Amino acid sequence: MHYTEQMEDELREAGWKLTPSRRAVLSVFDRHDLHLRADEVLARARKIHPAVGRATVYRTLELLTGMGILHPMVLGDGKTRYARIEDGHHHLVCSSCRQVVEMHDRRFNRLIRRLAHEQGFQMQSNVMECIGTCRECREKETKS
Binding site for DNA (CB under 7 A): 12, 16-22, 37-39, 49, 51-56, 58-60, 62, 78-80
Is the CB of residue 67 less than 8 Å from the CB of residue 29?
no
Nearer to a second copy, 2 or 143 (CB): 143
Site track 96-115 with a second copy (rule: CB under 8 A), x = hit:
-----x-x-x-xx--xx--x
Q: Give the residue with the Cβ less far from a second copy, 119 or 144.
A: 119
Burial class (CB in 10 A: 0-12, 13-18, 19+), 34: middle
Rule CB under 8 A: is residue 138 a binding residue for a second copy?
Answer: yes
Smallest gap, in angstroms, from Cβ of residue 105 to DNA?
29
Q: How far is CA 71 from CA 16, 47, 87, 138, in A?
A: 19, 23, 11, 30
Find the shortest distance in angstroms from Cβ 143 to a second copy.
16
CB 105 within 8 A of CB 63: no
Residue of 120, 142, 143, 144 interacting with a second copy (CB under 8 A): 120
Q: Which secondary structure element, helix H or strand E, spans residue 109, and what is its range?
A: helix 106-118
